[in-house]
Amino acid sequence: MIDSQLSELLDILTFQKTDDDTYIAKNLFIGSPNVYGGQVLAQAISVANLTIADDKVLHSIHSYFINPGDNDEDIIYKVETIKDGKSFNTRRVVATQKGRDIFVLVASYQKPEVGIEHQVVMPNVARPDSLTSFSDLFAEFAEKFKVEPRGIFSPKGPFVFHPVEHYDPFNPRIRPPMNHTWFKTNGALSDDSKLHQTTLAYASDFNLLITALMPHGLSFFTTPMQIASLDHAMWFHRPVRTDDWLLYVVESSNANSGRAFCTGKIFTKDGLLVASTAQEGLIRKLS
C-alpha cells in the first residue's frame, strides 16, 4: 500500500468487542477540531454489519450528529437489532463518549431482488486524469499561508480528490452552489463489498457543506465560521468500488436560519449511479 492514511482508516474500522453488540473504536485525526463526521458514519455502519448474519445488503442509512466527538477519546458503539425480516433487516447504532451520546444511526438491509430500473444521467464533466488534485492545488497556498495540509487537502489523506471546478480556499469567488469532484481511496482495497460501502460513507461527508458556501464567496480559511453536520442520509443503489474513480455531484438547494441543505449523487466513471446523499448542516458566521 502507498504511503497514505488509508491503512490508518482501515485500522479504525477494526473494533474491540466488549459486550453483546457493543464495540470500542479509535479515531483517525485528519485536522478537524472534532471527530470527522464521515468517520462515525463508517464506524457505525461497520459495527451494524457485524450483526447481519444473512445475505441482506445495506441499502440506506439515516443518522444524526448529536454532540461533537472528541478526537482524543475512544468511541463506544452499541448496536440494537430492530428487525430481522424476510426481506429487510434494521439496525440502530448509538455512539457515545464519556457516557454522552454523540451520534445515532439507523441502517436498513435488503435481501437482493430484481426490480424495475432507471437512473439519471451523469453530468458530462472533465475526466479525473485531466484534473489536478486538491492536495496539489493546496500545496502552494499551504506554503504561502503556513497552513499544514490535512484531510482532503493532504497528499497522504485516505482519499484522493480531483475537483472539476477550480477551487481557491483563500480567495473564494461567488459561484452557483453546485460542485463536481472525482475521488477514490489513496491506495487499493480488497474485494470486500461491505468495506467499499463503508469507505464510501466515510468519503460522502466531504464537500457537502462546502458547496453551500459557494454562492456567498465564503471559505473557512478566510471567514471565522462554525460548520458542523447535523444529519446525514445515504442510499446505496448499486455495488461500488471506492478504489476506482467516482464522481460526486453535490448541490445546495437551500440555506437559512443558520442551516444549509445539500444533496449529492455519486457515479462510477462509466456513469452508473451508485449512491445518493442528503445532509443538513450548521453554518454560523462568527464575525
Query: Where in the sequence numbering do the catalytic residues fall?
Result: 205, 229, 279
Q: How far apart are the first and last CA of the chain?
A: 44
C-alpha cell, 205:
461527508
The x, y and z cell numbers of residue 143, run together, are 506554503
Q: Cite the DSSP H helix spans in 76-229.
A: 134-145, 193-204, 208-213
Q: Which three cell numbers stand for residue 189?
A: 482495497
Burial of 99 (0-12, 13-18, 19+ CB in 10 A): exposed
Strand ranges across the sheet with 88-97: 16-19, 22-25, 75-84, 88-97, 100-110, 57-65, 225-236, 273-285, 259-268, 246-256, 178-185, 159-163
Other CB atoms within 10 Å distance of the CB of residue 71: 16
Helix (H) or strand (E) holding 48: helix 37-49
Q: Single out the residue of 78, 135, 112, 99 nearest to residue 236, CA to CA.
A: 112
